[in-house]
Amino acid sequence: MVWIPGGTFAMGSDDEKEDERPIHEVTVNGFWMDKTEVTNRQFAEFVKETKYETVAEQKPNPLDFPGVPADKLVPGAVVFSPPPGNVPLNNHRAWWIWQQGADWRHPNGPDDSIEGMEEHPVVNVCWFDAVAYADWMTKRTGVKHRLPTEAEWEFAARGGLDRKKYIWGEELKPDEKCIANFWQGRFPNQNTTEDGYRMSAPVGQFAANGYGLYDMAGNVWEWCMDWYRADYYKKSPKDNPKGPATSYDPNEPTTAKRITRGGSFLCSELYCTGYRPAARMKTSPDTGLSHTGFRLVAEGKAPEKK
């Protein structure tokens, strides 16, 4: 883990999406943070020790899905499936499918495997799975581990570069080079892989930010502790905000959602630009997705100065 010293920064953006507004001053205390996203190897160790079964591996509860035929209630996750041709970019259902048998061991379905991908970030883990892993780490180490708050995550991602569009500065591709794992080409059916990766990359393949953290832009989205509210920034407290008490997404008001941050290998300059440090994504906490993982923070004292 890396010590994040804490401080005050300008959170959000006034230039992009409505839920990123307004820019507001936030102060966070110092904390420890995983240098990389949690990997398949690390998650496998947790599962081996605890016999934990992720939500994607469990048969859905019929009470949670009234009216759905029993034969349709099967374990699985939501995975990316590129359409054969161009589709409207406001219709995300054109490239996302529910895949029976997809889980953390089988990222894209039952015929897929993580063999040889031990150092890739674990995916198809929902918010509850990430919290279970954090609880295990707490018991294992005796130090409180948890998901970061949204404010902690953005502060850490910026790496000391306040008010910059990207975690490395103002240009998406400095000197025309890709310095993070995101989508190049025409989304969602033409990926030119200028960055060298069609899907996730092993953690730590690109340069660290100013705090020594890897993949805070792109690779996979990362779960945060907070509920999502589109209007939260208008009333967020300044000191150590922990998010709203309840979720509210005006586009799907009956569906509770948690925050994910950082963007993924699917984020495109033409589509979501989720690799910006101010970008917010909202996701149902019980859903595993093939582009979403997590990293943890730990509470504790700053390292002693040498």
Tell me what the pLDDT averaged over the chain comes to: 96
Residue 196, domain member (yes or no): yes
Q: 240 is in which domain, residue-wise?
A: 1-61+74-83+94-306
Cβ–Cβ under 8 Å, residues 261 and 224:
yes
Instruction: Tell me the average pLDDT across 203-226.
Output: 98
In the block, tokens 């160790």 appear at: 45
pLDDT category of residue 149 using cuts at 50, 70 and 90: very high
54-84 residue pLDDT tens: 999 999 888 888 888 888 889 999 999 999 9
Q: 198: closest CA among 264, 139, 275?
A: 264
Q: 263: closest CA among 230, 217, 228?
A: 217
Phi, psi of 138 (to 5 degrees): -60, -50
Instruction: Tell me the average pLDDT across 212-218.
Output: 99
Residue 99's pLDDT is: 96
Q: 260: closest CA among 210, 219, 231?
A: 219
Q: Is the pLDDT of residue 218 over 90?
A: yes
- For residue 52, list its beta bridge partners: none
Residue 66, domain member (yes or no): no
Residue 253: asked if its preceding bond is cis (omega within 30°), the reply is no
Q: Is the pLDDT of residue 3 over 90?
A: yes
Instruction: Tell me the average pLDDT across 273-292.
Output: 97
Residue 220, domain member (yes or no): yes
Cβ–Cβ under 8 Å, residues 55 and 78:
no
pTM: 0.96
Residue 79's pLDDT is: 97
Residue 67, domain member (yes or no): no
Number of domains in the chain: 1
* CA 134 – CA 298 distance, rounded (Å): 9
Residue 231, domain member (yes or no): yes
Residue 68, domain member (yes or no): no
163-210 residue pLDDT tens: 999 999 999 999 999 999 999 999 999 999 999 999 999 999 999 999
Which CATH number does the domain housing residue 232 bear?
Answer: 3.90.1580.10
3-class secondary structure per residue, 229-294: ECCHHHCCCCECCCCCCCCECCCCCCCCCEEEECCCCCCECCCCCCCCCCCCEEECCCCCECCEEC
